[in-house]
């Protein structure tokens, strides 16, 4: 059983909605980024999603895109991110998921990436622009290393693609609560509930819903339909606002504990 599967089993047994936290590795710099990841684990994040900075993102709204620009300017690379996780893994308990576009992985070389990710204690990989129909090579390589393959589903995903993602995927499925790019919203779209119902009808894999989650009431709403809520842009915004302050880590922890309550 993977760490991810184990964590979702614990959440289901407790009847609790999980909280998946996304941060861009290297924002505001590699040292502070490592401290943020450690504090997120301490604050009770159920899964840590670590975004790999990429120069040409397709799904990221302005908040995360600016975080990526800051991370790249600070010298963050895929190799550096995996090295950071290698040093952090013994001190954090939450499952770790790499959140990347395909290009950085393919440029490094799939086999090299998987070997380094395995050594770093990475539990899962979500490749944003990898469709399930083209995911067999990634999945088989990850699976041999004991790494879960996580696929992205949107409100317009067909039943056939949901089934394919469920067949190839493991750990959990990531559902986009609405169309468009990442970013904070006032409410959770009705499309999130509809997507969750369609996914739950086709698979027993846990479902995490993201894109727009920023408040405790959003987490509560998502918990009616899915196993976990994903907070990304709102958390990255906290980091942007306090990135150079001595109180950054306390602000990050305060925000996560507020969401969990």
Q: What is the pTM of this model?
A: 0.93
Mean of the pLDDT values across residues 166-178?
89
Q: Spell out the domain ranges in the chain.
A: 19-260
Residue 179 has pLDDT above 80, yes or no: no
Q: Any idea which of 51-65, 118-132, 141-155 has the lowest mean pLDDT?
A: 51-65
pLDDT band, residue 183 (cuts 50/70/90): very low
Residue that is written with structure tokens 């969990």 in the block: 260
Mean of the pLDDT values across residues 125-140?
93
Share of the chain above pLDDT 70, in %: 94
The tens digit of pLDDT for each residue in 194-238 reads 899 999 999 999 999 987 789 999 999 999 999 999 999 999 999
Whether a cis peptide bond, with omega within 30° of 0, leads into 5 is no
Dmax (CA) for the chain in angstroms is 49
Architecture of domain 19-260: Alpha-Beta Barrel (3.20)
Q: What is the pLDDT of residue 180?
A: 44
- Of 180 and 52, the structure prediction assigns the larger pLDDT to 52
pLDDT band, residue 182 (cuts 50/70/90): very low
Side-chain half-sphere CA neighbours of 103 within 13 A: 8
The tens digit of pLDDT for each residue in 33-88 reads 999 999 999 999 999 999 999 988 877 778 999 999 999 999 999 999 999 999 99
pLDDT band, residue 184 (cuts 50/70/90): very low
Q: Any idea which of 9-13, 42-46, 186-190, 204-208 has the lowest mean pLDDT?
A: 186-190
Give me the active site residues, please. 49, 60
């Amino acid at each position: 059983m993977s760490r991810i599967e184990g964590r979702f089993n614990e959440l289901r047994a407790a009847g609790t909605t999980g909280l998946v936290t996304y941060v861009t590795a290297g924002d505001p710099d590699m040292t502070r980024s490592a401290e943020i990841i450690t504090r997120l684990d301490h604050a009770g994040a159920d899964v840590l999603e670590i975004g790999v900075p990429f120069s040409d993102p397709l799904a990221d709204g302005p908040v995360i895109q600016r975080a990526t620009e800051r991370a790249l300017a600070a010298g963050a690379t895929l190799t550096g991110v995996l090295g950071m996780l290698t040093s952090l893994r013994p001190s954090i308990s939450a499952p770790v998921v790499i959140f990347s576009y395909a290009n950085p992985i393919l440029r490094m070389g799939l086999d090299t990436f998987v070997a380094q990710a395995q050594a770093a204690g990475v539990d899962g990989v979500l490749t944003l622009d990898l469709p399930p129909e083209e995911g067999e090579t990634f999945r088989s390589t990850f699976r041999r290393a004991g790494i879960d393959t996580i696929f992205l589903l949107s409100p317009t995903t067909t039943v056939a693609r949901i089934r394919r993602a469920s067949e190839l995927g493991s750990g959990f499925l990531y559902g986009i609560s609405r169309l468009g790019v990442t970013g904070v919203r006032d409410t959770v779209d009705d499309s999130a509930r509809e997507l969750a119902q369609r996914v739950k009808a086709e698979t027993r894999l846990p479902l995490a819903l993201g894109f727009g989650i920023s408040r405790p009431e959003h987490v509560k709403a998502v918990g009616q339909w899915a196993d976990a809520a994903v907070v990304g842009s709102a958390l990255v915004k906290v980091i942007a606002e306090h990135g150079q302050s001595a109180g950054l880590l306390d602000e990050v922890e305060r925000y996560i504990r507020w969401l969990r309550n």
